[in-house]
Amino acid sequence: MIYSLDKLNEMAEGDKDFIVSVISVFLEEVPEDLEGLEKAIGARDYDTIYKLAHKIKPNVDILGMEQTRAMALDIETMGKSEASMEDIEKKFPLLKKDVLQVVSELKKDFDL
């Protein structure tokens, strides 16, 4: 398991509906953002790369996905500074793999 509910549980203060709501939003938004990020990388659209990586970052952070958050931050920084697209292309598959794995685990763990 590459996610942790510690931060989310702390924020929720025992509110199970809140936890399910946050997870539902994650499952709805993050795969869409990931798809948009992949398209932006293909289009070499640095501004969109920056914006979508920035948007993904807090979503993975709340689920305690520290490595994934670090990758999103790297991609965000590279997008903002218009760094090597090859470097972005190398990092993205790792981000995508982690996010898709967590999406699958969350759906299974929460029957969503």
**DSSP at 80:** H
pTM: 0.93
Q: All domains of the chain, ordered by start, with CATH?
A: 6-106 (1.20.120)
Q: What is the pLDDT of residue 13?
A: 94
- 91-98 long-range contacts (CB < 8 A, ≥24 apart) are 92/37, 92/38, 92/41, 95/34, 95/37, 95/56, 95/68, 95/71, 96/34, 96/38, 98/2, 98/60, 98/65, 98/67, 98/68, 98/71
Q: How far apart are CA 89 and CA 29, in angstroms?
A: 22
Q: How far apart are CA 60 and CA 46, in angstroms?
A: 21
Per-residue pLDDT of the chain (112 residues; tens, 9 = 90+): 689 999 999 999 989 999 999 999 999 999 999 999 999 999 999 999 999 999 999 999 999 999 999 999 999 999 999 999 999 999 999 999 999 999 999 999 999 8
Q: What is the pLDDT of residue 71?
A: 96
The runs of H, that is alpha helices, within the chain are 6-12, 16-42, 46-61, 66-81, 85-110
